[in-house]
Amino acid sequence: MRHYSKSAVEDYRALDVRRLARSNVLQPGHYCLWTWWRDGEKVASINVKAEAHAIRLTYSANGTPQAYSVRLERTPCHYGGNRVWFICPAVGCHRRVAKLYGGTIFACRHCHQLNYASQQCSQRDRGINNSWRLRRKLGCDWGWLDMPAEYVPRPKGRHQTAHARDIARLARYDAQAEASFAAVTSRAGAMLARLP
């Protein structure tokens, strides 16, 4: 059975695997038009069709039709359930990531060379600095672009309630970091547009 629904995400074109999961877009057979909005205006949309272990993306980029699959991978959590990831579809990459960024194709930030943009905002952004500090305290070597807050495992011996509090705080820092990153990446839009 096919489902059809509309989803809205704000601002710039990023696909967040957790957001898709929460919107039930990853259920095999689900089909939706995923739409990006800015100031109440539709900026872009793509068709997303969920298969068993992948999603198929169909859209047009600068008049050129695009259609390809992005593999999904699930990793078990220590405390039950699992986490879902994208496998970056760029040729030769295959990194496991939570977010893909749209240019002509959706790819991870490494492929889009967004490191520079994230370094630019890290100079002055408190959210990013706070996020890194808390992640180090939690024993997490991964940055906010690569490991979503709720994916950060609980350190051994840390009480569950205390950890949940840390994660809630980390999610707030990450959101601040994300906001300044979005500002920088939208300025770097020209760079995204000419990627593979």
What is the C-alpha separation between 100 and 109, in angstroms, rounded?
A: 7
Interacting residues of 36 by C-beta distance below 8 A, sequence separation 6+: 8, 9, 10, 11, 12, 13, 42, 43, 44, 45
What is the C-alpha separation between 48 and 33, in angstroms, rounded?
A: 6
Q: Does 93 bind Zn ion (CB under 5 A)?
A: yes
Amino acid at 153: P
> Could you tell me the smallest distance in angstroms from the CB atom of residue 93 to Zn ion?
3
Binder to Zn ion among 15, 50, 55, 88 (CB under 5 A)? 88
Q: How many chain residues touch Zn ion (CB under 5 A)?
A: 7
What is the C-alpha separation between 104 and 76, in angstroms, rounded?
A: 32
Which of 61, 138 has the CB closer to Zn ion?
61
In 3D, which of 86, 64, 62, 83 has the Cα closest to residue 74?
Answer: 83
Which of 127, 148 has the CB closer to Zn ion?
148
Rg of the chain over Cα atoms, rounded to whole angstroms, equals 17
> Could you tell me the smallest distance in angstroms from the CB atom of residue 180 to Zn ion?
22
Q: Is 84 helix (H, G, I), strand (E, B) or coil?
A: strand
> Could you tell me the smallest distance in angstroms from the CB atom of residue 152 to Zn ion?
22
Which of 110, 172 has the CB closer to Zn ion?
110
Q: Does 111 bind Zn ion (CB under 5 A)?
A: yes
Stretch that binds Zn ion, among 82-90, 145-153, 167-175, 187-195 (CB under 5 A): 82-90
In 3D, which of 80, 77, 96 has the Cα closest to residue 88?
Answer: 96
> Could you tell me the smallest distance in angstroms from the CB atom of residue 115 to Zn ion?
12
Which of 90, 192 has the CB closer to Zn ion?
90
Q: Does 108 bind Zn ion (CB under 5 A)?
A: yes
Q: Does 195 bind Zn ion (CB under 5 A)?
A: no
> Could you tell me the smallest distance in angstroms from the CB atom of residue 195 to Zn ion?
10
Binder to Zn ion among 32, 50, 87, 90 (CB under 5 A)? 90
What is the C-alpha separation between 19 and 148, in angstroms, rounded?
A: 11
Residues making contact with Zn ion (CB under 5 A): 88, 90, 93, 95, 107-108, 111
